[in-house]
Amino acid sequence: MVTQARLNDFEQQQSQLLQTLYQTTLESAAWDTFLRQLVTISGSRSARILVMDRQAEKVLNSSKVNIDDDEHRRYVAHYVNRCPWRPELKQKLPGRLYNTHSDFSCDQQAFYRSEFFNDWARHLDIEHGLCGTVFQDSHYAVQLLVQRTGGQGAFDLGITQRINQLIPHVRQALQLSRQITREQTRQGLALRVSEQSFMPYLLVDGHGSLSYACPRAREILTRLPGVELTAQGLQFQCRHQQRRFCLSLQSVLKGPVAGQSADSSLTLINGALPVRLLVAPAEAPTAASTCRELWPSSAVATVFIQDSAEQLWVDECRLSQLFGLTPAEARVAAGVAMGQELRTLADLGGQSLHTLRTQLKVAMRKTGVCRQAELAVLVLRSAALRDRYDDVVPRVQSGSVPFG
Q: Is 34 a residue whose pLDDT tops 50?
A: yes
Q: Is 347 a residue whose pLDDT tops 90?
A: no
Q: Is 33 a residue whose pLDDT tops 70?
A: yes
Task: Give 120's DSSP letter.
Answer: I
pLDDT tens digits along 357-401: 999 999 999 999 888 878 888 888 788 887 665 555 544 333 333
The rounded distance, in Å, linking the Cα atoms of 226 and 388 is: 29
Q: What are phi and psi of 252, to 5 degrees?
A: -75, -40
pLDDT, residue 320, reads 92
The pLDDT confidence band at residue 404, using thresholds 50, 70 and 90, is very low
The rounded distance, in Å, linking the Cα atoms of 311 and 384 is: 14
All domains in the chain, ordered by first residue: 4-165 (3.30.450.80), 313-386 (1.10.10.10)
pLDDT tens digits along 319-328: 999 999 999 9
Q: Is 269 a residue whose pLDDT tops 70?
A: no
The rounded distance, in Å, linking the Cα atoms of 249 and 242 is: 11
Give the predicted TM-score (pTM) of the model.
0.72
Task: Give 123's DSSP letter.
Answer: G
pLDDT tens digits along 144-164: 999 999 999 999 999 999 999
The pLDDT confidence band at residue 225, using thresholds 50, 70 and 90, is confident
The pLDDT confidence band at residue 272, using thresholds 50, 70 and 90, is low
Cα–Cα distances (Å) from 141 to 49, 58, 128, 303, 311, in that order, read 11, 10, 22, 29, 48
